[in-house]
Amino acid sequence: MPIRLGTSAPNFQAQTTKGPIDFHQFIGNSWVVLFSHPADFTPVCTTELGEVARRQSDFDSRGVKLIGLSANKLEDHNKWIADINEINNVDLSFPIIADYERKVSALYDMLDYQDITNVDTAGVPFTVRSVFVVDPKKTIRLILSYPASTGRNFDELVRVIDSLQLGDKHRITTPANWRKGDDVIVHPSVTNEEAEKLFPGFKTVKPYLRLAKSPF
């Protein structure tokens, strides 16, 4: 079954730098960000892992667990983490999946079919820079895929998580370029009478566009 927004995150077992995991057990009752990397000891990936480690507290404060993936062996991961910590002046603490056989990569459709040079010595494709945000119900809420050549914007990832979590708690959506604390959009399913109780003083721009102060 293809992975789409709203589908259940496929379960798997894997070896990681923090020991063996069952993915659904790892999720537990938390939000999770699963993100893949083309290979260990590569320049863009090293900056990305360092950035995520630096921002660990941003994810912790939102109740989000982190787990990386790279198509290399466990011993390579452990050596690479030492480089990541040294280069970025961080202490990387989240697990990284050792997906040398590409089992998880194939399950989540993360293999690179665009760049014919993004392969290992056996000619097997490495992963692209995929991101999956999974909620506590094990439902996939966000899918992002970047080419191997382009590092990700983790400000955007945190922004989307804020929007998703806020929308789950309140009957709202968020407008273009929304940031935490900005005005939100009253969900179309909310009547004006309900909106007066939920969002006192909301503003009607058009009948289909009603703005309210952020519930944050």
pLDDT tens digits for 200-209? 999 999 999 9
pLDDT of residue 215: 77
What digits encode the pLDDT tens for the residues 158-204?
Answer: 999 999 999 999 999 999 999 999 999 999 999 999 999 999 999 99
Choosing from 45, 67, 96, 134, which is the catalytic residue? 45
pLDDT of residue 122: 58
Average pLDDT for residues 133-152, to the nearest whole number?
93
Q: Is 44 a catalytic residue?
A: no
Which three-class secondary structure string do you get for the chain?
A: CCCCCCCECCCCEEEECCEEEEHHHHHCCCEEEEEEECCCCCHHHHHHHHHHHHCHHHHHCCCEEEEEEECCCHHHHHHHHHHHHHHHCCCCCCCEEECCCCHHHHHCCCECCCCCCCECCCCCECECEEEEEECCCCEEEEEEEECCCCCCCHHHHHHHHHHHHHHHHCCEECCCCCCCCCCEEECCCCCHHHHHHHCCCCEEEECCEEEECCCC
- Domains assigned to the chain: 13-152 (3.40.30.10), 170-212 (3.30.1020.10)
pLDDT of residue 134: 98
In the chain, % of residues over pLDDT 90: 77
What digits encode the pLDDT tens for the residues 87-130?
Answer: 999 999 999 999 988 889 889 988 755 444 555 555 555 566 89
